[in-house]
Structure 1
Amino acid sequence: MSHFDAVSLAPADPILSLTEAFKADSNPDKVNLSVGVFVDQTGTTPILDTVKEAEKRLLEGATSKSYLPMTGTPAYASLTQKLCFGEELAGELQGRVASLQSPGGTGALRVAADFISKNLETNTVWLSNPTWANHKGIFGAPGLKLETYNYYNAETLSLDYAAFIESLNNIPAGDVVVLHGCCHNPTGVDLTAEQWEEVAQIAATKKWIPLIDFAYQGFGDGIEEDAAAARIVAKAGLPAFVCQSFSKNLGLYQDRVGALHVITDDASNFANVVSQLKISVRVNYSNPPAHGGAVVTTILSDAALTEQWHAELAAMRDRIAGVRTQFVDALKAAGVERDFSFLIEQKGMFSFTGLSKEQAVALREKHSIYIVDSGRINVAGITDENVAQVAAAIKDVL
């Protein structure tokens, strides 16, 4: 008998397991449209020139590898607040917003989940239907109860705004509502600034707490435009959580760098909130990794580097938008009768195609094209070389 006989086989991650299957596939023409990683026209995930320059400066000026504080550096907190909320609003929030550097956006979400579980009166978190698959695991791990609110209409392949608003109006006071700041994962269907104003008004009236998962700033309409959700909620004076990631917009996937901002509705609570966040960090990872945060700090603290980064980010955003149009045209050229023009209106790397689980499986097994069983695809994985191949395969499974 082994002490580990009682350990059962865990279910495979619905997204990362596809990458493992893709790597094991011997087909030279295989295409991975599952994992959320930006690739350029050559199929490569590039290192941004601004990141290379920042790393060069860090290497030349490095003097120590000592631990960071549990919450990261003050400079990182200040700069990421300004990027998230805008300089003026970030200044107004001083004394009410507690910020910490985290290991990626996922780390920010998990610290927030632990904080909610241990410190708030609620035990319930609401997720959009559908949402990023890992949200359920992250918020379920500390024992939080998970509920869903209406968001997407699978028949019309669009936002079901009336049902969404009705759901928000029925959420109990004190509960936490996870909202996608922009580039909704997995649907690519976003709210307008006007709609975010209504969401903030409902949150204020019904007294539930927004938690904004903000992983794709700059991948939707632009750095400033994509921050509408966080800024509207903050301006409304609401208590809120914002979980920021730099994996996508700076290409720092393997460096695991993000930020958690907790906005308190009363400055008298600020010190208590910071103290409890530190405990959540201490029992999880003690202190954040330094390198990615130092890269972010170097870029955001240098006006020339920031301007260069804006241009690089715009180029990535433009590529994704161009691929959407190219893909829709390729589907038409392949003879697909179904209207896929909705893909052009969606934002960010991800899109819900409307393909069924059976069709997603058929794409993998017959054509070595890997998409998530939900029908979600990473549009950024489409290139000039594979767009016709992907379109023909979709025609076949349809």
Structure 2
Amino acid sequence: MFENVKEIPGDALLALMVAFKNDPNPNKIDLGVGVYKDDTGLTPVLNVVKKAEAFLLENEVSKGYIGATGSPELGPLLQKLMLGDNHPLITESRIATAQTPGGTGALRVAGDLINAVNPAARIWVSDPTWSNHFHVFAGAGVEVRTYPYYDADQNGLAIDAMLEAIRQIPQGDVILLHASCHNPTGIDPTAEQWDQISTLVAERSLVPLIDCAYQGFGEGLEEDVYGLRTLLSQCPEALITTSCSKNFGLYNERIGALSLVTEKAEHCQRAFTQVANCIRANYSNPPAHGAAIVTTILSDHALRQQWEQELADMRQRIQRMRNELVSSLQSLNCNRDFTFIAQQKGMFSYSGLSKEEVLYLRAHFGIYAVESGRINIAGINDQNIGLLSEAIHQAIQQ
């Protein structure tokens, strides 16, 4: 069976992780891996998570299966987190949520669902987007196309080109939009641009698939779902993928969800059976522990408040490092304007660095970033920002 199997090139980001790990430079800096890091360079376990786990250790009574669509308590809590209490979609039973193994699992189930109910539909993703979007949807048998998103000359959103491309997407196709903290650019639409995008998506009768992986990491829990709520106010049908990896720090617990939005409640009930069928044919049941942690935190007032504060601390640290990086580069009289970095949202930034500059940083300073120039702002801290700024300044000069 395997004698003539061809080797597939490894994922570029995973290869970057290995190269960083093997680099003996004691001052090396990792700006590639897409996880939050604190000022000591560690990906911390939130204190509120430890409290929730201590509670579960004392009170958990079973390790039995939780069912194909996961924890029944989790879905309503995540719906309220995204939509707010008493949202019409909730009160009218037009939204249903299935727990999945991480946000990636949610995306794959969404792809399987699209292929099951409308195999002719294509999915349109931003150019650029998270690279794994292509693998996940292609693996589900869904054709993937792209629409313009990034304006390299302005280091901003290519809104006019984006809207024109949406006007050309065939009715019934699916369009993937990042709710906030766009990965990899860090560039989000303004409220006015979200209004334009939502109106056009509705006019074209497209189905939005809203990837909500970073709620709370941009401007705040409410602010980061403005685009999501605007889309749902205009589009009768939608899919939403959620991740708890970042805002709860639960990366290795693999906790996410897929929410299905329909025009009528009876449509929702029927379609949700298709979701369950897709899950049953894939991994059968999601893991329980991460869901129990999130459910415990969101259903307890004191724990919820503590979580919101710890989330705010992470968000504010990222924004502080954005501002300090810009200021540090300005103090070196760097002959390039980096002020746009302070306007971007979330962990990631399209820094404007060229491939050659990125490779120079890696070879001469042990600074690891993606060749597109995308950097993880959370990898910057008070100890390495001086070295990083000097290295960027030198790379530009060279």
Pairwise TM-score range, normalised by the shorter structure: over 0.9
Give the whole-Å Cα distance in 1 for the aligned partners of 2:235 and 2:351: 37
Please say if 1:236 is aligned against 2:218. no
Identity of aligned residues (%): 47
> Could you tell me which residue of structure 1 aligns to residue 278 of structure 2?
280
Paired AA for residue 18 in structure 2:
E
Equivalent residue in structure 1 for 2:349, among 348, 351, 355: 351
1:265-323 per-position Cα deviation (integer Å, ceiling 9, x unaligned): 23232222111111111121111100100000000001111111111111111101100
> Could you tell me which residue of structure 1 aligns to residue 70 of structure 2?
72
Equivalences, count: 396
Equivalent residue in structure 2 for 1:314, among 312, 317, 334: 312
Give the whole-Å Cα distance in 1 for the aligned partners of 2:214 and 2:27: 29
Please say if 1:109 is aligned against 2:107. yes
Paired AA for residue 312 in structure 2:
A
Give RMSD over aligned pairs.
Answer: 1.3
1:42-81, aligned counterparts within 5 Å? 42-81=40-79
Give the whole-Å Cα distance in 2 for the aligned partners of 1:361 and 1:188: 21
Contact 2:151 2:157 in 1 (8 A): yes
354-363 or 373-382: bigger deviation: 354-363
> Could you tell me which residue of structure 2 aligns to residue 137 of structure 1?
135
> Could you tell me which residue of structure 2 aligns to residue 100 of structure 1?
98
Gaps of at least 5 residues in structure 2 are none
Paired AA for residue 148 in structure 2:
N
Give the whole-Å Cα distance in 1 for the aligned partners of 2:252 and 2:312: 22
Q: CA deviation at 1:93?
A: 5.2
Gaps of at least 5 residues in structure 1 are none
Equivalent residue in structure 1 for 2:258, among 257, 260, 268: 260
Contact 2:201 2:235 in 1 (8 A): no
211-220 or 133-142: bigger deviation: 133-142
Contact 1:219 1:348 in 2 (8 A): yes
Contact 1:14 1:133 in 2 (8 A): no
Please say if 1:154 is aligned against 2:149. no
Q: CA deviation at 1:71?
A: 0.5
> Could you tell me which residue of structure 2 aligns to residue 87 of structure 1?
85
Please say if 1:12 is aligned against 2:10. yes
Give the whole-Å Cα distance in 2 for the aligned partners of 1:170 and 1:340: 34
Give the whole-Å Cα distance in 1 for the aligned partners of 2:35 and 2:14: 11
Distance 1:312 1:22, change over 3 A: same
Q: TM-score, normalised by structure 2?
A: 0.97
Give the whole-Å Cα distance in 2 for the aligned partners of 1:121 and 1:47: 41
Equivalent residue in structure 1 for 2:183, among 185, 199, 205: 185
Q: CA deviation at 1:14?
A: 2.1
1:249-398, aligned counterparts within 5 Å? 249-398=247-396
Give the whole-Å Cα distance in 2 for the aligned partners of 1:105 and 1:212: 11
Give the whole-Å Cα distance in 2 for the aligned partners of 1:105 and 1:375: 24
Distance 1:263 1:348, change over 3 A: same
Tell me the SS of whatever aligns to 1:88: coil
Paired AA for residue 249 in structure 1:
N
Q: CA deviation at 1:183?
A: 0.3
Q: TM-score, normalised by structure 1?
A: 0.97
229-238 or 122-131: bigger deviation: 229-238
Give the whole-Å Cα distance in 2 for the aligned partners of 1:6 and 1:335: 56
